[in-house]
């Protein structure tokens, strides 16, 4: 056994480059996984922190529709639900909305500090009664525009305590004074501005209304009973929900997004697995002789198995450790990308703290170890099973590799069939979609060696007539499957993924562009600034009047976006009064347009594809929403294509909306211009007509389209980063394999040199071989990539978001893959080529 | 400086306690100069005696900065149980009335639609029960803004409230008053029947407690109130009856320098007389000469007592679990009345750990007047011991 260990150690130390490259592959794979974990967890954590910062002690919240909650309900509730002796439930009113300051968006939280303190008291967050400054207290209640924020927010706005800032609420500027800074370190506070509830109501124009009522109920069974009692007390349109449920609902919006990220990171690890497999099996192959000798000397199979697996485990652990470190580094970078995407698409969150979930690090170690052991298992079993001879002839080895390649090809076909079957048998599961995707990619890897072999033979035959060296080069590639097959397979898989993702993004982009062209019918859009579903986005009636009096406007549509609650979670509502031209902007994917519009005008709703998918709705079914007059089931008249909102939206006729919700605000106008009138002058005229009453977003059709495309590109940056990482892992793998191969056949090359091949020709030979391998990988990757793209668009995207995307091919998807294949192959070949050319023929031959 | 002032400080600090919810995340460090005297103008000031008109003056005086309604009393249960209670409402104006000064009044700002939450009045209330048999002292605090009916004070008829804690004279001044409050474990509902008319303390109700002009307050008491009602313990109702004391004070002054706190005594003696005395303590521990009191005869006739007329000797001390030391026994002598009594808390720990912390406890009185044995009960308030 000592001899085995010594042999193992010496081998590893004698091949440091090989060791290092295998390690790099694993490190990249594990690192990508850890990085994605860190980035998504940090964003999640930041959101939870900001929830906790505002209503940390609350167990429930009462939420209402866009009309808010009548503040008198709060007063009534304080008196209700009191037991004989003790107040069992605590309530705190909150008026919240989005404001912008210094070009950034903040959540304005209006509180009654007394009620909030009472809610918090006895909840394990007893406030530190250490405050002695009268001015802050008086200021909170009596200074006009008094606000409080933490140091980070104040720093971001460049405002000192006592100084003024301008807050814009839906485009209307208000002067606020920072009366005190909270020195708290909770990152959850970084996007919050606190003010008195009275001030918040006035700024947000919601006097008489509350956004929500935070509730603290006892945690025991009495609390559950109270929750039931409380829910029964609420007027129609209001819901009592647990804070956890609320947070979960918000976070659930990002589920599909984070699942996609996770899958991309697993792809990198999958590529890493292949590399470990390559490295270990190669290391085993190189040592067949010595292992054979050791077996003949009495080492048992078990000992040999233990040795190989032990090496793999060490490699796995080292890779996991390096991967975890790398993940920490990449994770910090990814956090920014992930939070920007979430801000663009879902909710406002500032991720200032990178949280490293211990689970992610454990997962990384587990994944690294499992990957390495799994990858090493086959070669280990194989070498342990071999008879204790003095090793096998190389030809026997290659013969075996060939048989394996054939078996693998069959396996690959079976896997591909399995992928198809998985998709066919599951209809909605996103997980099954990803499973199919991975099966497909593994199938690509499995068939690549056989394809390589076959193509090499064909080329060798073709080249035979041209030059014996070319024939030799081709045949050599085909005959060295045991060394190169795995690396080529990994490259093929990475390229397929790259092509697939590239085609998917391109298809998505084109579908979005087409949709924007069709849906954006109006010439000029005027909206109140703010987050898309923010209640505070409203155009003042006088402002609307002023806008519509601008000459040159032929027609207009108007709309209001809000989020309402429903039994299936929050649903975005788009209440519209459409101009005649607007109707053509909706492309139906289910339902007959004429009939659907007819029903729409009579109280039915239309829903976008993602919502139809998410809630399994179709024309004829009903969508239940919580209105201000209680829940109501709205008939669904049609499903239309919409890419603007991955959670989906409901289109409802404005009069119908106002019938069910107490809200007559308009958040945006679409202006249709008379023939010959252009958008620029009208925009200027609108701006002049509105004057300083409200700062509005006035944008032309083209500007909105450009903005949408820009946001789209931003949200896919992270996808790109991840697939480049996967491709990087593959390139490293190829380099590792080629280097090892070349080092092993140094004698062969030396023989060729001795037979008269010039150094340049030797280098060219090596490079040609590596480029050939790269091209074979690409050849396999192209059809596989198209299949991957199809899976991504038709299965993954559909199941994650409900979008239907038209497949769109662009040459750069393939040229990118070509450049990567060539670059990887050349990079991997240069050093071996240089060494092969430089070696003195005699010296190498004498070595053994 | 006066009891008013300190109680006002308590009110401010309580508000700040609420704000501490926000500020726990760290406002700038504590500022020892709590309340500069006369910080802002615009408030009415107690500078001269006024004509008290009842029941009107039982109601609020919002033109003054602060005001309180302070009911304490001793109760006996039907089964011989012994209790003490305190229910206090503070009103505190954070800014002068609109138009009075204008500079700092938020009311003056023009709002397109003014929120009903806007107010310059905030209210604080303390409710404490001393359950002598169970050797238990329980207290609770409420803070609310005087808006939307969450808290407030009305004059005719009197009603002061935060949530369901109430002190009210529903039938006008002639009829019974009512009070109600509840905290975990204890709920109290009492009818109050004043047995004497209000007694004006100080100079016809103007209580001067320092040389600083405008630092005085208007101060009257109703020292003899029969109470009866129900005390619920853990939901179990118990009939109770006893004697209570109402203190009313309002003003706008600020703190004088060099003051540390005060000891306030309200003793109801068995012969139908009452003694009220507040001993103001200077920082060096000596008694401030502005200390004063009132002696009420069983007829209801009242006489002022100057500081020198009352001798107080501390006979016992009690240290709270976290090391704050309070006096816990006194010998009080008023030579002019031939009064010599010993005063002892019925329970050592009757400290409210509010902001600031203070002791407000039921006491027993034993002693002599003109040589004859005399008993009694009362309440003692000790402020400024916890730093």
B345, part of any domain? yes
Q: Which of B20, B32, B94 sits opposite A141 (nearest CB)?
A: B94
Give the residue among A311, A216, A237, A298 at the shortest CA–CA distance from A73.
A237
Residue A494: partners with Cβ closer than 8 Å, 6 or more residues away = A271, A726, A727, A729, A730, A731, A820
Give Dmax (Cα) for chain A. 105
Give the residue among A315, A428, A407 at the shortest CA–CA distance from A370.
A315
Is A541 an interface residue toward B (CB < 8 Å)?
no
- Interface touch B109/A134, C-beta < 8 Å: no
Q: Tell me, what DSSP letter sits at residue A86?
A: S
CB A166 within 8 A of CB A178: no
Give the residues across from B332 on adjacent strands: B312, B341
* Number of independent structural domains in chain B: 1
Angle A176-A178-A184 (CA atoms, 0-180°, nearest 5)?
135
Chain B closest CA to A142's CA: distance in Å?
Answer: 5
Q: Which residues of A touch B22 (CB under 8 A)?
A: 111, 113, 116, 148, 182, 194
Both tokens of A762, joined, read 């030797």
Tell me: do A629 and A683 sit in the same domain.
yes
- Interface touch A127/B164, C-beta < 8 Å: no
Please give the pLDDT value at position A504: 80
Both tokens of A621, joined, read 């079914």
A57, part of any domain? no
Angle A237-A240-A241 (CA atoms, 0-180°, nearest 5)?
125
User: Which regions of chain A are under pLDDT 50?
Assistant: 84-85, 123-135, 390, 847-848
Q: Which residues of B touch A55 (CB under 8 A)?
A: none
Predicted confidence band at B1 (pLDDT cuts at 50, 70, 90)? very low
A382, part of any domain? yes
Give the residue among A297, A276, A465 at the shortest CA–CA distance from A380.
A276
Tell me: do A188 and A209 sit in the same domain.
yes
- Interface touch A130/B39, C-beta < 8 Å: no
The SS3 of residue A65 is: coil
B168, part of any domain? yes
Q: Which residues of A touch B17 (CB under 8 A)?
A: 117, 127, 129, 131
| Mean pLDDT lowest among A423-437, B18-32, B343-357 | B18-32
Tell me: do A763 and A665 sit in the same domain.
no
Q: Which of A75, A113, A181 sits opposite B21 (nearest CB)?
A: A113
Residues across chain A? 848
- Residue B301 burial by CB count (10 A; 0-12/13-18/19+): exposed, middle or buried? exposed
Percent helix, strand and coil across chain A, each rounded to 5?
60, 15, 20
Which domain CATH number covers B239?
2.40.370.10
Tell me: do A42 and A93 sit in the same domain.
no
Q: Which residues of A touch B142 (CB under 8 A)?
A: 118
Predicted confidence band at B108 (pLDDT cuts at 50, 70, 90)? very low
A110, part of any domain? yes
Chain A closest CA to B198's CA: distance in Å?
Answer: 32
Chain B closest CA to A701's CA: distance in Å?
Answer: 34
- Interface touch A141/B31, C-beta < 8 Å: no
A262, part of any domain? no
pLDDT over threshold 60, residue B384: yes
- Interface touch B24/A186, C-beta < 8 Å: no
Chain B closest CA to A572's CA: distance in Å?
Answer: 29
Q: Which residues of B touch A128 (CB under 8 A)?
A: 20, 24
Helix pair A430-464, A255-286: axis angle to 10 deg: 40
Is B114 an interface residue toward A (CB < 8 Å)?
yes
Tell me: do A193 and A115 sit in the same domain.
yes
DSSP sequence for A585-608: G--EEES-HHHHHHHHTTT-EEEE
Is B234 an interface residue toward A (CB < 8 Å)?
yes
Tell me: do A669 and A558 sit in the same domain.
yes
Give the residue among A211, A146, A159, A153 at the shortest CA–CA distance from A186.
A153
pLDDT per position as a tens digit, A728-778: 766 766 676 676 676 667 777 777 777 777 888 888 888 888 888 888 888
Tell me: do A406 and A375 sit in the same domain.
no
Tell me: do A345 and A449 sit in the same domain.
no
The SS3 of residue A760 is: helix
The winner for highest mean pLDDT among A310-319, A720-729, B106-115, B360-369 is B360-369
Give the separation between CA A497 and CA A789, rounded to whole angstroms: 8
Q: Which residues of A touch B355 (CB under 8 A)?
A: 129
Q: Which residues of A touch B145 (CB under 8 A)?
A: 112, 114, 141
pLDDT over threshold 90, residue B237: yes
Q: Which of A79, A131, A183 sits opposite B163 (nearest CB)?
A: A79
Residue numbers of the domain that contains B128: 3-22+53-94+120-383
Is A533 an interface residue toward B (CB < 8 Å)?
no
pLDDT over threshold 50, residue B326: yes
Give the separation between CA B273 and CA B344, rounded to whole angstroms: 18
Query: What 3 state SS string does chain B have?
Result: CCHHHHHHHHHHHHHHHHHHHHHCCCCCCCCCCCCCCCCCCCCCCECCCCCCCCCHHHCCCCCCCEEEEEEEEEEEECCCCEEEEEEEEEEEECCCCCCCCCCCCHHHCCCCCCCCCCCCEEEEEEEEEEECCCCEEEEEEEEEECCCCCEEEECCCCEEEECCEEEECCCCCCCCEEEEEEECCEEEEEEEEECCCCEECCECCEECCCCCCCCEEEEEEEEEEEEEEEEEECCEEEEEEEEEEEEEEEECCCCCCCEEEEEEEEEEECCCCEEEEEEEEECCCCECCCCEEEEECCCCCEEEEEHHHCEEEEEEEEECCCCCEEEEEEEEEEHHHCEEEEEEECCCCCEECCCCCEEEEEEEEEEEECCEEEEEEEEEEEECCCC
Give the residue among B147, B116, B152, B118 at the shortest CA–CA distance from A208.
B116
Domain boundary among A360, A392, A424: A392
Give the separation between CA A505 and CA A165, rounded to whole angstroms: 42
B109, part of any domain? no
Tell me: do A71 and A41 sit in the same domain.
no
Query: Which phi and psi angles does B228 have, rounded to 5°?
Result: -150, 150
Chain B closest CA to A337's CA: distance in Å?
Answer: 29
- Interface touch B20/A198, C-beta < 8 Å: no
Please give the pLDDT value at position B255: 55
Give the separation between CA A257 and CA A801, rounded to whole angstroms: 9
* Entry pTM: 0.70
Give the separation between CA B345 and CA B349, rounded to whole angstroms: 9
Is A197 an interface residue toward B (CB < 8 Å)?
yes
CB A792 within 8 A of CB A501: yes
Q: Which residues of B touch A75 (CB under 8 A)?
A: 148-150
Q: What is the CA radius of gyration of chain B?
A: 20
Residue numbers of the domain that contains A598: 529-695
Both tokens of A529, joined, read 């600034």
Domain boundary among A367, A392, A417: A392
Chain B closest CA to A241's CA: distance in Å?
Answer: 24
Tell me: do A550 and A560 sit in the same domain.
yes
A217, part of any domain? yes
* Number of independent structural domains in chain A: 4
A476, part of any domain? yes
Both tokens of B141, joined, read 């605090």
Angle B224-B229-B231 (CA atoms, 0-180°, nearest 5)?
115
CB B215 within 8 A of CB B253: yes
A265, part of any domain? no
How far, in whole angstroms, is CA A290 from its chain's centroid?
A: 48
The winner for highest mean pLDDT among A423-437, B62-76, B112-126 is B62-76
Tell me: do A377 and A400 sit in the same domain.
no
Chain A closest CA to B341's CA: distance in Å?
Answer: 37
Give the separation between CA A139 and CA B106, rounded to whole angstroms: 10
A246, part of any domain? no
- Interface touch B16/A133, C-beta < 8 Å: yes
Chain B closest CA to A186's CA: distance in Å?
Answer: 9
Domain boundary among A183, A217, A236: A236
Tell me: do A437 and A351 sit in the same domain.
no
- Interface touch B22/A182, C-beta < 8 Å: yes
């Amino acid at each position: 056994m000592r001899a085995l260990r010594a042999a193992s150690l010496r081998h590893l130390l004698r091949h440091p480059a090989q060791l290092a490259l295998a390690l790099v592959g694993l490190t990249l794979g594990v690192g990508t996984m850890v990085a994605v974990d860190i980035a998504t967890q940090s964003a999640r954590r930041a959101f939870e922190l900001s929830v906790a910062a505002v209503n940390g002690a609350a167990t429930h919240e009462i939420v209402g529709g866009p009309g808010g909650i009548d503040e008198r309900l709060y007063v009534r509730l304080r008196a209700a639900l009191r037991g004989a002796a003790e107040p069992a439930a605590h309530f705190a009113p909150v008026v919240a909305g989005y404001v912008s300051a210094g070009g950034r968006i903040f959540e304005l939280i209006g509180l009654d500090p007394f009620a909030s303190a009472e809610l918090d008291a006895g909840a394990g967050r007893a406030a530190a009664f250490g405050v002695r400054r009268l001015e802050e207290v008086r200021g909170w209640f009596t200074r006009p525009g008094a606000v409080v924020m933490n140091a980070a927010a104040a720093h971001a706005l460049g405002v000192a305590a006592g100084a003024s800032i301008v807050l814009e609420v839906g485009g209307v500027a208000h002067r606020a004074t920072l009366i005190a800074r909270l020195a708290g370190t909770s990152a959850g506070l970084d996007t919050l501005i606190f003010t008195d509830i009275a001030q918040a109501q006035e700024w947000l124009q919601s006097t008489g209304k509350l956004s929500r009522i935070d509730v603290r109920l006892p945690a025991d069974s009495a609390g559950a009973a109270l929750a039931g009692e409380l829910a029964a007390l609420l007027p129609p349109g209001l819901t009592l929900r647990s804070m956890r449920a609320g947070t979960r609902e918000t976070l659930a919006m990002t589920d599909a997004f984070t699942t996609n990220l996770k899958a991309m990171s697993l792809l990198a690890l999958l590529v890493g697995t292949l590399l470990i497999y390559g490295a270990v099996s190669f290391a085993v192959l190189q040592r067949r002789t010595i292992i054979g000798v050791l077996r003949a000397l009495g080492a048992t199979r078990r000992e040999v198995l233990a040795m190989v697996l032990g090496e793999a485990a060490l490699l796995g652990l080292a890779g996991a450790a390096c991967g975890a470190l790398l993940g920490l580094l990449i994770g910090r970078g990814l956090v920014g990308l992930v939070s920007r995407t979430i801000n663009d698409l879902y909710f406002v969150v500032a991720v200032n703290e990178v949280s490293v979930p211990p689970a992610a690090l454990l997962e990384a170690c587990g994944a690294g170890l499992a990957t390495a052991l799994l990858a090493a298992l086959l070669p280990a079993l194989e070498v342990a099973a071999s008879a204790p001879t003095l090793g096998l002839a190389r030809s026997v080895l290659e013969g075996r590799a060939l048989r394996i390649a054939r078996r693998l090809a069959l396996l690959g076909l079976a896997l591909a069939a399995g992928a198809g079957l998985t998709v066919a048998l599951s209809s909605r599961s996103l997980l099954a979609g990803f499973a199919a995707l991975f099966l497909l990619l593994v199938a690509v890897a499995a068939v690549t060696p056989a394809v390589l072999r076959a193509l090499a033979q064909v080329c060798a035959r073709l080249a035979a007539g041209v030059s014996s060296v070319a024939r030799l080069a081709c045949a050599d590639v085909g005959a060295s499957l045991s060394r190169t097959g795995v690396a080529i397979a990994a490259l093929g898989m990475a390229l397929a993924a790259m092509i697939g993702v590239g085609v998917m993004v391109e298809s998505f982009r084109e579908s979005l562009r087409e949709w924007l062209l069709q849906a954006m019918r109006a010439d000029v859009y005027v909206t109140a600034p703010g987050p898309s579903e923010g209640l505070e986005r409203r155009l003042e009636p006088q402002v609307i009047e002023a806008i519509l009096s601008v000459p040159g406007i032929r027609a207009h549509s108007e709309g209001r976006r809000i989020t309402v609650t429903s039994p299936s979670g929050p649903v975005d509502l788009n209440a519209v009064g459409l101009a005649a031209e607007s109707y053509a902007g909706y492309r139906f994917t289910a339902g007959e347009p004429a009939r659907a519009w007819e029903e729409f005008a009579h109280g039915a709703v239309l829903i976008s594809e993602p919502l139809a998918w998410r809630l399994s709705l179709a024309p004829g079914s009903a969508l239940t929403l919580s209105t201000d007059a209680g829940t109501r089931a709205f008939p669904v008249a049609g499903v239309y294509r919409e890419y603007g909102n991955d959670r989906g939206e409901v289109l409802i006729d404005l009069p119908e909306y106002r019938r069910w919700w107490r809200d007559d605000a308009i958040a945006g106008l679409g202006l249709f211009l008379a023939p010959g009138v252009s958008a620029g002058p009208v925009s200027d005229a609108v701006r002049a007509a509105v004057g300083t009453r409200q700062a509005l977003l006035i944008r032309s059709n083209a500007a909105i389209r450009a903005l949408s495309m820009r946001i789209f590109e931003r949200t896919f940056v992270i996808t790109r980063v991840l697939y480049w990482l996967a491709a990087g892992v593959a390139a490293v793998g190829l380099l590792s394999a080629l280097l090892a191969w070349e080092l092993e056949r140094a004698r062969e090359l030396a023989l060729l040199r001795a037979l008269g091949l010039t150094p340049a020709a030797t280098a060219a030979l090596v490079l040609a071989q590596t480029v050939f391998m790269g091209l074979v990988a690409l050849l396999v990757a192209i059809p596989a990539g198209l299949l991957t793209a199809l899976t991504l668009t038709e299965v993954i995207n559909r199941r994650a978001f409900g979008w239907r995307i038209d497949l769109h091919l662009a040459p750069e998807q393939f040229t990118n893959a070509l450049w990567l294949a060539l670059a990887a192959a050349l990079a991997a070949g240069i050093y071996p080529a240089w060494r092969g050319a430089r070696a003195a023929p005699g010296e190498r031959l004498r070595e053994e | 400086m006066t009891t008013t002032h300190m109680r006002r400080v308590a009110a401010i600090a309580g508000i700040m306690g609420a704000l501490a919810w926000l500020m726990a995340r760290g406002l700038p460090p504590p500022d020892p100069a709590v309340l500069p005297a006369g910080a802002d103008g615009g408030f009415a000031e107690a500078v001269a005696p006024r004509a008290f008109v009842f029941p009107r003056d039982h109601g609020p005086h919002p033109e003054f900065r602060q005001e309180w309604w302070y009911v304490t009393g001793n109760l006996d249960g039907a089964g011989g149980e012994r209790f003490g209670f305190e229910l206090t409402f503070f009103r505190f104006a954070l800014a002068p009335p609109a138009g009075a000064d204008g500079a700092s009044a938020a009311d003056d700002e023009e709002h397109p639609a003014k929120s009903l939450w806007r107010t310059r009045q905030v209210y604080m209330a303390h409710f404490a029960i001393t359950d002598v048999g169970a050797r238990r002292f329980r207290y609770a605090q409420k803070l609310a803004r005087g808006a939307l009916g969450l808290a407030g004070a009305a004059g005719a008829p009197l009603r002061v409230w935060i949530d369901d804690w109430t002190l009210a004279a529903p039938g006008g001044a002639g009829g019974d008053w009512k009070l109600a409050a509840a905290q975990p474990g204890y709920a109290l509902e009492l009818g109050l029947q004043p047995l004497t008319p209000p007694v004006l303390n100080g100079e016809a109700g103007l209580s001067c407690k320092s040389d600083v002009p405008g630092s005085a307050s208007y101060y009257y008491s109703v020292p003899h109130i029969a109470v009866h009602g129900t005390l619920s313990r853990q939901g179990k109702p118990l009939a109770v009856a006893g004697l209570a004391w109402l203190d009313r004070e309002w003003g706008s002054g600020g703190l004088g320098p060099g003051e540390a706190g005060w000891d306030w005594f309200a003793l109801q003696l068995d012969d139908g007389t009452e003694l009220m005395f507040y001993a103001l303590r200077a920082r060096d521990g000596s008694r401030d000469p502005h200390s004063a009191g009132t002696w009420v005869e069983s007829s209801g006739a009242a006489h002022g007592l100057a500081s020198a007329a009352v001798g107080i000797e501390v006979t016992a001390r009690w240290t709270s679990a976290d090391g704050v030391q309070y006096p816990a026994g006194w010998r009080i002598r008023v030579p002019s009345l031939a009064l010599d009594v010993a005063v002892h808390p019925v329970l050592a720990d009757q400290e409210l750990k509010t902001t600031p912390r203070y002791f407000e406890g039921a006491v027993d009185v034993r002693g002599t007047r003109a040589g004859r044995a005399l008993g009694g009960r009362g309440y003692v308030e000790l402020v400024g011991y916890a730093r």
